Amino acid sequence: MTRPFYLYGVVLAGERGSVAVAGVEGSEVEAIEHEGLAALASRIEGGPLAAAREIRAHWRVLQEAAETATVLPVRFGTVLEDEQAVREQFLEPNAERLRTLLNALAGSFNSA
């Protein structure tokens, strides 16, 4: 049985670094790539999330990823059934718009 994926954000695949902090449910964060984009995601058990703790985990993942890349955050609580669904239902239909937004925001948040 496959476990669902929890989504944190999207980066350009070439910019993604590794995220060492634990994600929701204490899970490892990985990247699911499609057409030059990478969704930052974790395999989860799929049960209800403990909101306060998991919001902090969601934020920590985005914060760490943003240290090395431009990140478009995904709404807290976004879960898709498997890796194929992340690609086919999220990245593929939104690829052009996600790339446009990432390119427009590139470097916008760097401190001088």
pLDDT tens for 25-65 read: 999 999 999 999 999 999 998 777 778 889 999 999 999 99
The three-class DSSP label of residue 72 is: strand
Q: What band does 15 get if pLDDT is binned at 50, 70 and 90?
A: confident
Look at residue 109 and tell me whether its pLDDT is greater than 70.
no
pLDDT of residue 112: 41
Question: CA-CA distance, 18 to 77, in Å (whole number)?
Answer: 21
Q: Which has more pLDDT, 11 or 110?
A: 11
pLDDT of residue 27: 94
Q: With 50 as the cut, is the pLDDT of residue 101 above it?
A: yes
Q: How many residues are there in the chain? A: 112
Rounded to whole angstroms, the Cα distance separating 52 from 31 reads 24
